[in-house]
Chains A and B, each alone.
Chain A
Amino acid sequence: MTAVMNASTKTEAAAGAVLSVRHLSKSFGGLKAINDVTFDAAPDQVTALIGPNGAGKTTVFNLITSILSRDAGQVLFLGRDLAGMSAVKIADMGLIRTFQSARVFPGMTAIENVMVGGHRLASRSAASEMLWLPAARNEERGMLRRAEQMLDLVGLAPFKDTQATELPMGAQKLLEVVRALVAQPKLLCLDEPAAGLNDTETRELANLLRAVRTLGIPVLLVEHNMSLVMNVADQVIVMDSGAIIAKGTPSEIQQNSRVIEAYLGREHHAAS
């Protein structure tokens, strides 16, 4: 997963970063929700964005994926600014996101859900599918095999023909991550993947994310669950009140007094 930087773009993006967020700002009415947020997501790494409730993590996530329009700043993905791009365009470039509430497609089986992820890689037209051309059928078969392998990887293979919405929450979340992986992302963005999961399910998710990193796929993780973040992240970015208050490795973050303050509150910290 080497990020190919576009040489012609003159930016201050860190060399080799998959995603560079520069001086990002966003206000809702008079409230400054995001203030001058700057960070990079490096290739082959899991970058985690954490912070207490209302810190602006999800807003940053939505600004990156162009669901919200930003007031100022840049979001460079593989050297290109994502401003004003449609969700489809962004996905086409290889930035694949998941949703906070598992959004598997109802009315489709688990394996069909995973195969939808392969959509952006499919090269055969609907016309060739209509004519049952061998090329289209081979591609279909290849996609089925790949989807089966991915389901096997997370232990969901026995449930491949189960309706996706009938799976337990943890399995649905895993399924969503697997679906995103089948799309062969150049950056995988996960919006609170551990929300609503129990401890066992969170451990399974952590295993999957470590496997993803081994595959060389960079991950941007917006997360609440500390144990997951400390387990899998290479770089942690801590936000509070719309601004970044700390960056570093998980162990550095655990020692950082501003982070402890943000999470536990000033009085409590002073008292201890």
Chain B
Amino acid sequence: MLEFLQICIGGLVVGSIYAAIALGFSLVYRVTGAINLSQGGFAIVAAMIGYTLGVSFGWPLWVAIPCAVTATVAIGTALGAFTFVPGLARLSNANVLMLTAGLLTMIEGFALVVWGSQPYAMPPFSGEAPLVFGPIRVPTQAFWVFGATAVCITALWILVAKTKLGKGLRACAENPAAASLMGINVPRMTLLSFALATLIAAIAGVTVAPTTSLQFDTGRLFTISGFVAAAIGGIMSFPGAIIGGLFLGLLTQLATAYISSLFSTAISLLILLAVLIWRPYGLVHAGTGKRQDTRDEVKSVGHAAKLPVSLAWSFAALALVTAVFVPFVVTDNGILSGLVIAGILFMTLMGLDVLMGYAGQVSLGQAGFMAIGGYTSGYLSINYELAPLLSIFAGIGVSLACALVLSVVTLRLRGLYLALATLAFGLLVDSCAVGFLDITGGPSGLVGIPSFSVAGVEFATPRAMYYVVFALDAVIFLGLTGALRSSFGRALKAIRSDQMAAAALGINTVRYKLAAFMISVTLASLAGSMYAFFFNFLSPEMVGTGRSLELVAMLIVGGESTLFGGMFGALLLTLLPTVFQPLAVYKTFASGALLVVSFLYLPQGLYGAIVGMAVRLARSPRKAVSKEPASETSARAL
């Protein structure tokens, strides 16, 4: 009983933090209709700055902590003004969510560069000695956490309910278009909500810091837990966020204590998925569920870059010849390995593009299927000496089975809830990969996976793998191109922009969304298996949620709904750190920053930029001649 109480207090401390972050989610969501994933990052930045000022510089904590919070809010507001606010004006809600995922990655990368990857421990604000209530000992920091959360909640409530500014915020929440007609500066309100969320996150970050150890990527945990808490409680309501946070905190701590720390995440994610199925608006339903629609459909789907058919064939030939001869030129095994990795990731990216770029279905958990494929193949080929080819098919089978179960949830969801469900799935696979020690080898990974081989011929060297992977890529690319340029691709694009109009023309939206999902899962699983065979090893972080976010970054940077674009993203983000070894520490930061910049300034990605240039070059010398065939064929362009 005592132990139980002790655990509950711990749970409430953690839960308060989740509640605070969830509150920030709810605030930004209600005002803007978009999800801001960057908050957890700000919490960590605030805590890290606090550590630097308070411990490294030796400032007194009562100076260091407020300074850290102020600095974080200043950084956050500036970032918000230059990314979130303009992003909101021109991106769909799903893409804004990706943009903030990019911000989170960028902040993580920044923290990695500045503070390194070692854990930090903040000293408690008022001494180590806990308060003793009879047999129960409560660390003093717990009171700081409860107090700070309570102050945040009260202050936010007063601001929103009692002030004129709050009325403006609420007006934006009800109907941004009407609010702007009434003279409310909606971008400013958006920025204000972003800054307030950052403030709450920063306060939460510094107060919780002494109770846990901090690392550059702890912010991700805060973001995800806050997001999950907000979704469980109901993102449209502040009480929902608080209840969801406390509930999640208690649940995870109790599960850790009484079941297993390895599965506490898994349990909370299963609860989330259950909530998404049975009560998609959360436990506390605020009644005004229509906020989402006011912005969801106004997005203009960007025009994907198109390569005229005449150019496409010559480009394809050029790419093929280059791909064949590269290994003769590049002799450095490191770079060649980088190329193989890029080629393997390109398989996943093509699938992800079918799913996200063409069918418009967000997926933040694609690496989860790489994990399922990779671990299945690895396990079967190690323990049962199954031929690699068969084990790949087995992996695809298991992945498809999981995908079918997941699609029960995802097919009924759109936008933010879909993003959340796929994210939860990815995390669930993550925690299973860590938790099922006997199958996956746990955190230290699965070792001794054989190299890829077909009928006794082994492909052990990077060069051999290079040809296998690129042959696979070429075949998949050709097949998908055939389908996407025909009625299959048109049906997906129609569904992406207007499901109702698509259905009215006889397009079975459910079947096509499922088909796109299954294609992406098959390719992710295949890529995961190839990945395991190439490294002869697989560990959870190689195919974890970080990888999922990186895949999205690669796709956006390369160019969405172009099929080939992902290749540029994969090459860029894989080869840059390999070529510039000393800069490897900047990789996380760069992938986040590239994602953000691409979203804002390069909507067609690198592919769009390159194609635009190629088309201009091809046209300029023989303008008169090329006019005729170009107009004839561009409708059938890739």
Contact = CB atoms under 8 A, between A and B. Distances in A.
Interface string B490-510: 110110111011111111110
Interface string A134-174: 00100010011000000000000000110101000000000
B314 interface: no
Interface stretch (B245-253, B332-340, B376-384, B478-486): B478-486
Interface residues on B, range: 35 or more
B487 A140 contact: yes
In this complex, the member of B478, B482, B508, B634 whose beta carbon has the largest number of chain A beta carbons within 10 angstroms is B482
Contacts, number: 110
Contacts of B486: 124, 129, 136, 140
A33 to B, nearest CB: 21
Contacts of B300: 106, 165
B353 to A, nearest CB: 14
Of the listed residues B493, B496, B500, the one surrounded by the most CB atoms of chain A closer than 10 A to its CB is B493
Interface residues of A, number: 42
Interface stretch (B52-60, B71-79, B214-222, B301-309): B301-309
Interface in A78-136: 86-88, 91-92, 96-99, 103, 105-109, 111-112, 115-120, 122, 124, 126, 129-132, 136
A179 interface: yes
A65 B506 CA distance: 13
A112 to B, nearest CB: 6
Contacts of B488: 126, 129
B437 to A, nearest CB: 40
B490 A119 contact: yes
Nearest to A98: B504
Contact of B494 (A116, A130, A132, A180): A116
B254 interface: no
B636 interface: yes
B147 to A, nearest CB: 49
A119 B301 contact: no
B505 A120 contact: yes
B631 interface: yes
A217 interface: no
B559 to A, nearest CB: 14
B635 interface: yes
A131 B479 contact: yes
A91 B505 contact: yes
B121 interface: no
A105 B635 contact: no
A176 B505 CA distance: 11
B479 A130 contact: yes
Given A112-B635, A116-B502, 4 more contacts: A91-B505, A105-B502, A107-B497, A116-B490
15 contacts: A87-B500, A96-B506, A103-B498, A106-B300, A106-B301, A106-B497, A108-B490, A109-B635, A116-B502, A116-B505, A119-B490, A122-B487, A124-B487, A129-B486, A140-B485
